Amino acid sequence: MVAARDREKLLSQVAGVAVELVDRPDLRDTALRTLARSAVTDEHVALVRRHVGDSPTDTDVHWTLLGRLAEVDRLDPTEVDALEARDRDPDAWIRVVEVRAALPDRTAKEEVWRAVFVDRSVPADRVFEVGAAFWRPGQEELLREYTGRYLETVRELQGGMMMVSAVTRAFFPTAVGDAAFLAAAEDAADADGVNPSLRLALLERSDTLRRMLRAREA
């Protein structure tokens, strides 16, 4: 919840602290995961790669790093394929969806959007991670059209209350939404005949976005 002008500086500071803690056994895993999320330089990326092996924890860190590389458009698709083949988790395909969701690429965004809203192939308990990867700060121009589509799409969602609530919350664009979107979301929540689960989810996430906007402006 920081201003865009400060984002890279703060990421660099977080990554720097993580680098200093990687060699402490009691903090290694947390430091590596933090560094994978905030890597800014080639040195940060190389350090994560040197430390990760094939344990489930290290594989999770590696997926996190690939998500970060996707976000900054430095992803090598062959590394994604290799990690998916090596990952023993039967749900590794969802990690691939998360990585693709982070790409600043309209084709990739469309594929993920379809998986969530049309094919409904992403389970409710994993849709939050996919949503967080989809709405990446710094991709506002690419994502602008999706904020409007989000409100149109969630109003038409069919399914159980838990699924409607989960998808609505998970894909609410708190990371990139602006004041105009906030007003539109609140109007959608107050529309006649709106699904009660949808209304509650929209109001809760709107409150979060309102606080984030204040923080960004501070």
Domain coverage including residue 84: 7-92
pLDDT digits (tens, 9 = 90+) for 50-81: 999 889 999 999 999 999 999 999 999 999 99
Q: How many structural domains is the chain composed of?
A: 1
**Mean pLDDT for the chain?**
92
Residue written as token pair 């960004």: 216
**In sequence order, which residues have a C-beta less than 8 Å from that of residue 149 and are 6 or more positions away?**
113
146, part of any domain = no
Predicted local confidence at residue 164, as pLDDT: 84
82, part of any domain = yes
pLDDT digits (tens, 9 = 90+) for 114-150: 999 999 999 988 999 999 999 998 899 999 999 999 9
Beta-carbon neighbour count of residue 81 at 10 Å? 11
Say what percent of the chain tops pLDDT 70: 97
CB distance 127 to 163 below 8 Å: no
The amino acid at residue 136 is R
38, part of any domain = yes
Predicted local confidence at residue 2, as pLDDT: 57
Dihedral Cα 122, 123, 124, 130, nearest 10 deg: -40
Say what percent of the chain tops pLDDT 90: 78
Predicted local confidence at residue 181, as pLDDT: 95
Please state at what angle helix 56-71 crosses helix 77-86, rounded to 10 degrees.
160
163, part of any domain = no
152, part of any domain = no
Residue 193's pLDDT band (cuts 50, 70, 90): confident
What b/e sequence results for 44-77 when a residue is b if at least 16 CB atoms lie within 10 Å of its CB, and e otherwise?
bbebbeebbeeeeebbbbbbbbbbbbbbeeebee
Predicted local confidence at residue 195, as pLDDT: 86
130, part of any domain = no
124, part of any domain = no
Predicted local confidence at residue 215, as pLDDT: 81
181, part of any domain = no
Angle at 202 between CA 123 and CA 94, to 5 degrees: 20
Rg of the Cα trace of the chain?
18
